[in-house]
Every structure is written in structure tokens, then in C-alpha cells.
Amino acid sequence: MKRALVAAAVALAALAAVLVGRAATLRSRQVDPPAAQPFTFDSAGAIERLADAIRVPTVSSEQGPAPDSVFAVLHQRLAAGFPRVQSALRRETVGGSLLYTWLGVDTTVPAFVLTGHLDVVPVDSGSEARWAHPPFAGAVSDGYVWGRGALDDKGSVLAILEAIEALLAEGFRPARTIYLAFGHDEEILGERGAVRLAGRLKERGARVEWLLDEGGTITRGIMPGMDRPVAVVGIAEKGFVNVELLASDAGGHSSTPPRHTAIGRLALAVSRLEADPFPVRVAGATEALLAHTAPEMSFPFRVAFANLWLLERPVLARFTGDPRTAAAGRTTTAVTMVSGGTKANVLPLEARAVVNVRSLPGDSAAIVAERVRRVVADSLVEVRVLPGVSEPSPVSSPESAGYRAVSTAIRQVYPGTVVAPYLVIGGTDARHYVGITSTLLRFAPGLETAGSPPRAHGTDERVGIGEHAQAVRFYAQLIRNSAG
């Protein structure tokens, strides 16, 4: 017995040594750049110009984007607010969208694209009274600029323009061409904006090395084992597909019901789907996220993430315990619409549900539909894919020149911040530029803290005055690094 205990102790000690040893071999993947260059700009004017842009209600709704005439007002304000940009860059209007070309000194070097969008989501009917300031007033108060679009996405569009206006004032000329592509219907899939902007670049044979759109941000308290801010740069984004479930029945009087009405059959199908989610899959962008953050984690977490071969189950349980991180590890299903029945005493002829699926790279719409059919497992419930599918994006390399440029600028402007690639769980205009470049990145300066209510798309959307100033500095540093 004593010999067995000694042997067990030795085995445990050896295992512990292996676990700790593997954690010790993790090496930081963070760049160590020189300090950011000095940069000055009209910070007070920048706040007023952002507030002025918010005052134009460029709302995209289910009925479509705001009329071009509304975007024309915003275009005029941008032209007046950024006179150097207006004169030094070629500007084209594409419906409500804008395409700028800043010609580089050496046109043989591939360009890069900075993109964002000018439209905003609607404000929920009846919710304006809950806002601290009217959503389209562009109020500047308590250290914030308030209003719809302050973060998503007029904040980053205006920060890009501010950076270029100040660089032009310094006499800066880019060594290579830079395109600015600002769509006007991103909130409703970008089919009239980004699709046409990308098409125009393609028609011209534009050679683009990389593109940066919104998507990632700077987070605090969200990644486990991290007490420092983590800037996540999207290198891929999920696809989305709406799947319809349609249960049919013969109908009749409610006094002689079948075992399951159409609604009951539909409810069972929905229940099966929710009880059997897609499996967790740590690969691609999510695997890259863990590889870049694990070396920076506190020691217990570093041990865990360095030894997934043994500790995968508890690590994945921790990872999927928070909906924000869980969505990065699996294809998600959300039942968002249900309808059925016409009268209390009439058996419904049919019942319908719509399931919104956000799919990981590798899970095509066809794969999603097949799995839904298998899980529902009811021949009397029809499963079909609705129009408007967006397949998951390709995964860009975190070793690319574009990723290194973005990572370097983040580390210069936000010292001490850990930078990591990740999977964007929503949708951005970047997916429409797949045919333009193989390096599509998604990051816009901002701060998301664990436990805080969402500001983008939420009530009291706002951006801190200091946050916006740092965003301007980030884009200026990125341009200097990449085209200086």
C-alpha cells in the first residue's frame, strides 16, 4: 500500500512538472514597438464635428437606409469640417456612400483600405424618454459625446478623417495609396453600400494589401486570467443564416385535438434545438485568440491553457460559461420569431418559427440546415433556409503585414494592452471585400468592460471625449506606420 502511494505521488509530481513546464515554455506574441510619435490635432473641434455628424439621422431600418438626401447633408458637413481632406483626396459619392482615394507617392506599392459606415440603427419606439440626452441631439456632457452612432460607427469614421486632416496639416504625404470606404447601409447588410464600393475598387483593379473595418475593440475583465486590457482584432467573422421551421396539421375543432397540434410539434422541435447546441470547436480565429492571450494570463490560467490536451473540458466549460466568449466557440442558434394559430377554439393548420444561426467558419448554410433537420428529427416539420444567407468569412492570418501594423499601432497608443486576434460574432462590411484582399481585419478603438451595459446599439449610446481623442491618435499612428 505504501509503495502504491509513493508511486502515485511520484506520478502526480511528474504530471505537475509537465503541466508547469509546458506553461513555462509559452512565449509572448506581443510586439514591442517604439514609442508613438508626437501628434497634435484640434481635439475640441473633433468633438464638435462628431456631435454635428450625430445630429444627422442616417438611420437604416428594415424598410431600407435613409434617403440619399439625408446622407447628402452628412456628406456636406464632412466636406466643410475637413477642408484639407476635401481638397487633397479624391472623393466620390456612391449613393449614400463615400469613397476617398489618397494617392500615394509610390503607386506600385499595394494600397490599404480604412473602412467604416455612416448609417446607424433606429431608436426603439417609445424608448427616447429613457435616454439621458435625445439620441440625435449630439449632446456633449459629463465627459461624453452622446447619441446614436457615437460608437457605431460615426465615431471611427470621424476619427479617421480627423487623423488625416491633422496629418495633411503637417505636410504628410503617404508613401502608398490609401482608400477610405464609408458605406451607408451596413446595419442592413451593406448590399447597396459596401458591395458597390468593393465593386468599384475591383473594377479599377485596385491592388490592396489589407483592409481595416470596425469589429473588435479594447476589452477589460472579459478574458479569463487577464487583469490587463485586451484589444481584440477580428481576423474572421461568423456567417448568418435564418432557418425556418414549419409544422403543418390537418386543423379542425379544438374539442378533438391530436396528441400534438402544429404548435405543439413546433414547440418540441424548438426544444430539441435548444437542448442540443452545436458542439464547441476551438479552431481558427478562436484558437489564435487563445495562443496570443495564454502567455499573458495569470499563472493558473496559463497552466490550464497550455495543457488543453489534459484540461480541455474544464477550460471549455469556463470559456463557454459567458455568452460573449461562448459564441466564439460554437455555431449558435437563437429562435427569434414564432407564429401560429388564428382562434382559441380552432386547431392551427400550421405553426412557424425562425431560427437565427450564427455560424463558425467551416459551417456553411448547407451544413447548418442538415444539422437542424437531424436534431429536429420530425418529418412533419419542414426545415428550409430563408433568403439572405451570409457564409462565414475566410480567416486572415495574424502573421500578415496588416495585422502587425494594427497590432503595433494599438501597442503604441495604448501601452500595456495585450493584442490578440479573434472571431467577430456579428457582421461587418468587411465581408464584402473578400475579392479585394485576403487580409480583412476588424478593430475600432473603444472600451468594453465586463458587466457594463452595451453602448453600441443601446440606450444612451455615447463615447468618452478621451476615448475619441485616443481613436484619432490610433488612426494617425497606423497611417504613419503603414504609409510613412
38 lies in some domain: no
Domain count, the chain: 2
Lowest mean pLDDT among 95-109, 117-131, 429-443: 117-131
Mean pLDDT in residue range 290-298? 93
CATH code, domain with 127:
3.40.630.10
pLDDT in tens, 99-119: 999 999 999 999 999 999 999
Given 343, 369, 385, the domain boundary residue is 385
Beta bridge partners of 64: 61
Does residue 92 surpass a pLDDT of 90? Answer: yes
Residues 6+ apart with CB under 8 A from 386: 241, 242, 243, 244, 354
Q: Of the segments 14-18, 47-51, 423-427, which one has the largest average pLDDT value?
A: 47-51
pLDDT (average), residues 207-232 = 94
The boundaries of the domain holding residue 468 are: 43-235+392-483
Statement: residue 335 has pLDDT above 80:
yes
Split at pLDDT 50, 70, 90, the class of 457 is confident
Q: Is residue 20 predicted with pLDDT exceeding 80?
A: no
Same domain, 372 and 402: no
Predicted pLDDT of residue 303: 87
Q: Looking at 342-421, list the stretches that DSSP marks H as alpha helix, in order from N- to C-terminal side.
A: 365-376, 401-413
Whether pLDDT at 450 is above 70: no
DSSP 33: P
Last residue of a domain, one of 358, 385, 412: 385
**Which residues of 365-481 form beta strands (DSSP E)?**
381-385, 418-424, 440-449, 462-464
- Looking only at the bridges linking them, the beta strands covering 332-340 and 381-385 are unpaired
Residue 454 in this model has a pLDDT that exceeds 80: no
Q: Are residues 65 and 147 in the same domain?
A: yes
Spatial contact of 373 and 383, defined as CB atoms under 8 Å apart? yes
User: Is residue 128 in a domain?
Assistant: yes
Same domain, 359 and 297: yes
Report the distance separating Cα 420 and Cα 232, nearest Å.
5
Name the pLDDT band for 19 (thresholds 50, 70, 90): confident
186 as an active site residue: the answer is yes
Q: Which of 245, 54, 84 is nearest to 168 (CA)?
A: 84
* Spatial separation of the C-alpha atoms in residues 366 and 368, rounded to whole Å: 5
| Of residues 181 and 322, more confidently modeled | 181
Percent over 70 (pLDDT), the chain: 99
pLDDT at 240 over 70: yes
Sequence-separated (6 or more) residues with CB below 8 Å from residue 67: none
Query: Whole-number mean pLDDT of the chain?
Result: 93
Q: What is the pLDDT of residue 127?
A: 82
**What pLDDT is stored for residue 18 in this prediction?**
73
H or E segment to which residue 292 belongs? helix 284-293
Pick the catalytic residue from 152, 153, 165, 186: 186
Inter-residue contact 182 to 118 (CB < 8 Å):
yes
